[in-house]
């Protein structure tokens, strides 16, 4: 098993300027970093499974938060953004089914996917709703 050395580090450039959502994004960083740490410390299946489960549950909570505001603010880009959320969920399911019985393999693939997806999503996709959210007074 190879070691993954990189932890995600929150930087201001990832911020959407809405404290509630930034805090949720930071929580996602923390869960991904927990997964990286677990992989690096000869993980047990139970530990990896618990982290993966918490990540999936947190993803649902976070997406629901964003989508609530999309609806409340009648955000023009909602359909495209929600489609990205669905793509993410489908990819997670695909990865999970690919690694049935191989929690370590699942953990490695998830870290690769999540790091790339999260950074791209924060830097490009989420930035699109910032003007709308700010116009409606979210801080």
Q: Crossing angle for the helix pair 78-98 and 45-73, nearest 10 degrees?
A: 170
For residue 43, the model assigns a pLDDT of: 73
**Regions of the chain where pLDDT drops below 70:** 1-5
Domain ranges in the chain are: 17-135
CA 49 to chain centre: 17
Cα(139)–Cα(134) distance, integer angstroms: 7
The tokens 């999309």 sit on which residue? Answer: 70
What is the sign, positive or negative, of the torsion defined by CA atoms of 115, 118, 122, 123? positive
CATH hierarchy code of domain 17-135: 1.20.120.50
pLDDT digits over 9-41, tens only?
999 999 999 999 999 999 989 988 988 888 888
Contacts of 86 (CB under 8 A, 6+ apart): none
């Amino acid at each position: 098993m190879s070691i993954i050395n990189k932890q995600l580090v929150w930087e201001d450039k990832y911020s959407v300027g809405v404290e509630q959502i930034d805090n949720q994004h930071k929580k996602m960083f923390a869960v991904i970093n927990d997964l990286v740490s677990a992989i690096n410390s000869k993980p047990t299946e139970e530990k990896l499974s618990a982290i993966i489960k918490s990540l999936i549950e947190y993803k649902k909570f976070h997406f629901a938060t964003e989508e609530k505001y999309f609806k409340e603010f009648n955000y023009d880009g909602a359909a495209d953004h929600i489609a990205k959320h669905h793509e993410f969920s489908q990819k997670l399911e695909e990865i999970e089914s690919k690694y049935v019985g191989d929690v370590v393999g699942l953990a490695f693939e998830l870290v690769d996917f999540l790091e790339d997806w999260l950074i791209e999503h924060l830097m490009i996709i989420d930035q699109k709703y910032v003007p709308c959210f700010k116009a409606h007074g979210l801080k």
